[in-house]
Amino acid sequence: MVMATGIVSVALRLADSPDLSAVLLWVAVAAFGILVVGSAWRVAAFGPQVRGELNRPDRLFSYFAFPAAASVLGARLAGDGPAGVAAALAAVTAVAWIALTCVVLAFLARWQGRRRAIGEVNGSWQLWVVGTQAAAIAATLAGVLPGRLAAWVAIVVWAAGAVLYPVVTALVLTRLRVAGLAPGDPVAPYWVTMGAASITVLGAAQALEAAGSAGLAGVRSALTGLGLVFWSVATAFIPALVVFGTTRRRRGLGPRGFRRELWMIVFPAGMYATASMRIGSAAGIPAVHDTGTVAVWIAVAVWALVFAGMLAFPASRTRTDASAAAAQPPPPRPRA
């Protein structure tokens, strides 16, 4: 939710809607604070379960949402927030990304020997790419590192994420081809494939700015070209994912109602809009920028639907539980 709300706020700011952008910013900040406190309590109270999740392929990669959320908030607050907040969030992003990457590498060393390992891959694995590009973006935030060093760190980390993206995408597509999805599996996590490509575009645009400020003109053309390639990849995934999700929906497959995984659709929508506007401006291609300005309002609509569903979810679950309880036969009366 924090990743999704934060990036839609960034997109609205780029689209010259500062008031609505500010509203979503404070929603994201409040949610981030609640999640930090709740997560700290969860680690303290349920440490063994959390450590167990770090060995589960369906849960481990979702932890990269934390550094990504911190980076998105840092990028949004860089111009409007108190001095030092963006730098602090960038530092949190870097530490969390390094720690989680070490955990993932250790997990992958064990995972390769598992039987039917490819069936354990899912769309949430792309959050590793998202977290990596979030770290590259965090390096470019003002005050984090000296200009030239910030540019080189951003370029190197961005390149690592750009190489990682096709590897993870190949694993995800192989899983879909070989193992497919079970009837109850959600499609929403697979939208992160498009979101990972989009944040790679945004990372290229951020690195472009940092390289220009540091006088690294030689890498600008390469970053621009690769950014446009990844933008084309993200664009191509949109109709494929829409058709995939619609087909499963018509067949009655997948969970219905609100699920937390639906935020994995909102984040790619907001990231695509933001990345399109940024790379369109950097490359001097108005059509790409204009695509982003249209996509912003689609992202806002999707955000509003998912947010409303989240608010209504506790009430609907309570009604469902009450109906289920009412449908149960009464317990037998004890004999005298």
More confident residue, 107 or 220: 107
- For 168, the enclosing helix (H) or strand (E) is helix 147-178
Question: d(Cα 11, Cα 303) in Å, to the nearest integer?
Answer: 12
Percentage of the chain modeled with pLDDT above 70: 89
Domain count, the chain: 1
Give the number of C-alpha atoms closer than 13 A to the C-alpha of residue 265, restricted to the C-beta side.
Answer: 21
pLDDT score of 209: 84
Residue numbers of the domain that contains 102 = 2-39+50-311
- The two most distant CA atoms of the chain are separated, in Å, by 92
Question: d(Cα 136, Cα 138) in Å, to the nearest integer?
Answer: 5
Question: d(Cα 33, Cα 28) in Å, to the nearest integer?
Answer: 9
Question: For residue 330, is it within any domain?
Answer: no
Question: For residue 318, is it within any domain?
Answer: no
- For 324, the enclosing helix (H) or strand (E) is helix 286-327
Confidence of residue 200 (pLDDT cuts 50, 70, 90): very high
pLDDT score of 115: 61
CB 279 within 8 A of CB 228: yes
Confidence of residue 40 (pLDDT cuts 50, 70, 90): very high
Task: Name the pTM for this structure.
Answer: 0.89
Q: Choose the weakest-confidence range: 25-39, 45-59, 141-155, 264-278.
A: 141-155
Question: For residue 250, is it within any domain?
Answer: yes
Confidence of residue 82 (pLDDT cuts 50, 70, 90): confident
Pull the structure tokens for residue 15: 């689209």
Confidence of residue 83 (pLDDT cuts 50, 70, 90): low
pLDDT surpassing 80 at residue 96 = yes
Question: For residue 297, is it within any domain?
Answer: yes
Question: For residue 298, is it within any domain?
Answer: yes
Residue 150: give its domain's CATH number: 1.50.10.150
More confident residue, 115 or 62: 62
Query: Across residues 169-178, what is the average pLDDT?
Result: 91
Question: For residue 333, is it within any domain?
Answer: no
Confidence of residue 335 (pLDDT cuts 50, 70, 90): low
Q: Choose the weakest-confidence range: 77-91, 148-162, 281-295.
A: 77-91
Question: For residue 321, is it within any domain?
Answer: no
User: 101: which residues sit within 8 A by CB, 6+ positions away?
Assistant: 128, 131, 132
**Average pLDDT in the chain:** 87
Amino acid of residue 265: I
Question: d(Cα 192, Cα 194) in Å, to the nearest integer?
Answer: 5
Name the most confidently modeled range: 132-146, 204-218, 241-255, 289-303.
289-303
Question: For residue 71, is it within any domain?
Answer: yes
pLDDT surpassing 80 at residue 213 = no
